Amino acid sequence: MARKKLKRFEDNAQYKHVVEPSREEAAKGIPQRGCWRDWFGRDGRLVVELGCGKGEYTVALAKTNSDALHIGVDIKGARLWYGATDIVNEGLSNAAFLRTEINLIDGCFAEGEIDEIWITFPDPQIKFKRTKHRLTHPDRLEQYSKLLKPGGIMHLKTDSEFFHGYTLGVLQNRKDFLVETAYFDIDLQLTKKDSILHTVRTYYENMFRNKGKAITYLRAIKKDVNKKI
């Protein structure tokens, strides 16, 4: 293993704001599950970015909204290191990273604990045999629905028109989510140019924009299915 990567793993292990449970620990339930606000030592909306990569969005969201608590989730420790180091350099106390597989987040967050979920530029997994690996597959949405509180928000930002359309179709067949907003090109459709959808750009977004690809966005609200109309 490259020396630089080993050094990043060592740094992550020393960072108090990086949580790295084993697969077995995550499957069983980590101590922070249901207690993230206590772990941060403060109250606030809990905002989770899934597949956060280098953590650009997690860090930017934390800087933009200091009243909320932000957690980036990814399995790649060498990538998380960038965001984890930015947290130190920026002196942020409302951001953290969780290194685990996304299919294990049930053991990392309690039902109704999360206020917002962000999914930014995921692998669209276009091949049919990879369908179950899509981050908005029905199995994953079932998972997110349990972890989001009623009224919670799921954001998806992607360059893939295929993935955007796939997600819209899946969401519209569910009773627990309401698609509130769907943009097929945020540069053309979004009027507020100071929105974080414009001002924060990940490595992949810049790469896609340089190729002339449209950036899509959708926002879905978790319904309170038990609420009587």
Which residues are known catalytic residues? Answer: 123
3-state secondary structure of 221: strand
Helices and strands of the chain, counted as H and E runs: 10, 8
How far is residue 202's CA from residue 215's CA, in Å, rounded to a whole number? 12
183, 190 in Cβ contact below 8 A? yes
CB atoms within 10 A of CB 151: 11
Closest listed residue to residue 110, CA positions, set 18, 221, 35:
35
| C-alpha angle 23-119-67 in degrees, rounded to nearest 5 | 95
